[in-house]
């Protein structure tokens, strides 16, 4: 499995305009074959900081995701929303354990 975690930033005043694009991206991604989890979360302490978490079954699923039309639409929205300072990392992970 592949785990993607990290953050993106945008001006806090653009967050309301970003929500529909973020929702569309999350819904389309969650419907993809191999997407086990996909989400965005606002940081409660830093306005405009969005935490990203994705879990993919394998590299083929992630490659298909990166080639999808909805990711192209999402990326095309970034300049108008002033989304920047992306810090996303991919990790290979095993099966989760309950703590």
Domains of the chain: 2-92 (3.30.70.100)
Q: Is the pLDDT of residue 48 over 90?
A: yes
pTM above 0.95, yes or no: no
Residue 84: the pLDDT is 87
Cα distance between residue 77 and residue 79, in whole Å: 6
The per-residue pLDDT of the chain, averaged, comes to 96
Residue 14 has what DSSP assignment?
A: G
Residue 57 has what DSSP assignment?
A: S
Q: Which residues face 91 on adjacent strands?
A: 3
For residue 53, give Cα distances in angstroms to 4, 14, 26, 36: 6, 21, 11, 11
């Amino acid at each position: 499995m592949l785990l993607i975690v990290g953050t993106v930033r945008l001006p806090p005043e653009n967050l309301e305009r970003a929500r529909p694009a973020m929702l569309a991206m999350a819904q389309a991604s969650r419907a993809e074959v191999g997407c086990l989890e996909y989400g965005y979360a606002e940081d409660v302490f830093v306005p405009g900081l969005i935490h990203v978490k994705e879990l993919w079954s394998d590299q083929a699923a992630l490659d298909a995701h990166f080639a999808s039309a909805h990711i192209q639409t999402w990326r095309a929205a970034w300049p108008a929303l002033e989304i920047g300072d992306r810090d996303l990392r991919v990790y290979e992970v095993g099966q989760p354990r309950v703590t």
